[in-house]
Each structure stands twice: as structure tokens, then as C-alpha cells.
Amino acid sequence: MARWIVALLIAIVSLAALVDRVGATLARESIAAKSPYRFGFHVLADPRTINAFALPGGPVFITEGLLRQLKSEAELAGVLGHEIGHVIARHASEHLARARLTQGLIGAATVGTGDPTTAQIGQMVGSLINMRYGRDDELEADALGSRIMAQAGYDPRAMIGVMETLAQASSGSRQPEFFSTHPRPENRQARIREEIAKLKK
């Protein structure tokens, strides 16, 4: 096996061990420990994509691309804490339920009126409703992530650094916040600062 492949595999295994250790600390030393979920932390060997996400029940994923952008273990804790927050708040499950409801309403409107324009308007309204919930979910996960970090002994201010990384990664591809499922990173920074101030009281 070529040396560079071996080196790459060692690097990925090392990153996976780091992610697992930090994630396990967050899950064990915070409000997450009282939840019914079994958290698992995984690295996706994708060096180009900058992303992290969680699935219902506890699996949390972070890409190699995002990992390599982070500047400290505390920033990694911020990303993982945010994703744990999504799981605890049941955002994925709620989003799936909302999507099913929206599709059902659109189908009923189309059948009831027979008018394709009504269906198109219904789809647009349904999408906007679901996007709004998406933005609210992100802000709630930021707040929960900050609290989870602090409880596990990490400085929650590192979450602000994560937002700076995300802002740099999204430069050049920005769209109006209203039509995005994620609030702009700079807006999230302000809300994170507010949450950190509450934690100090």
C-alpha cells in the first residue's frame, strides 16, 4: 500500500478518535446524559464538504472538510454540541412530521380545487413554513450547544469561532436569509453571545 494512503488512513483514524472522545465527553458531562438517546460520533472522509449533521436517535456526523477548518478542540466541541442539541430537541423528527403534514395539505388542496396554481402556491407556502422552522431549529441548537459545551468544561465562546469559519466557507454563495434554512453566521454569533451571557448568570 502506498505511503500516502497509509498516512491518510492514520490521519482519518486520528480525527475519528478525537471526534469520538470530544463527543463522548459532551454526551456524558451535560444535559445530554439525561436524554434517552445513544450518541455516536462519526467522521465522513470528505475533505471538500464543510458540514455536520445529526440523525434522529443520536448518530452525529462531521465531515473531514469541516474538521480541518476548526482551530481548536473547543470549536469541535461547539460543532458536536450543536448537533447534540438538534437530537435532544428532536428537530429531525419534527421536521419529518412537518414535511409529511405539508405534503398532505398540498395534496388535499390540489384534489379539492383541481387548480395547479393553487398547488404551486401551496408548495411555496409549505416550503417557507418548513424553512422558518429550520432557522428556529438552528438557533435553538446553538443555544443548547453552548450550554452543553459549558457543562462539559469547554469555553462556549469557541462557538463564535465556528460561526466565523462557516461565514468564510459561505462567502461568495450567500442568499437572502429569509430563503435559507440556516440563519447567517453573523446573526447566529449575536444570539450565541446572548446565550453565553445567560450562562454566566
CA–chain centroid gap for 151, Å, is 19
One-letter amino acid of 104: G
Give the span between the Cα atoms of 80 and 92, in whole angstroms.
Answer: 16
Select which of 29, 73, 75, 83 is catalytic. Answer: 83
Residues in the chain: 201
Residue of 197, 78, 96, 64 lying closest to 144 (CA atoms): 78
155 CB burial (10 A radius; 0-12, 13-18, 19+) = middle
Q: Is 186 a catalytic residue?
A: no
Among left, alpha and beta (phi > 0; psi -120 to 50; other), residue 175 is beta
HSE-CB at 113 with a 13 A cutoff on CA atoms is 13
Catalytic residue numbers, as ranges: 83
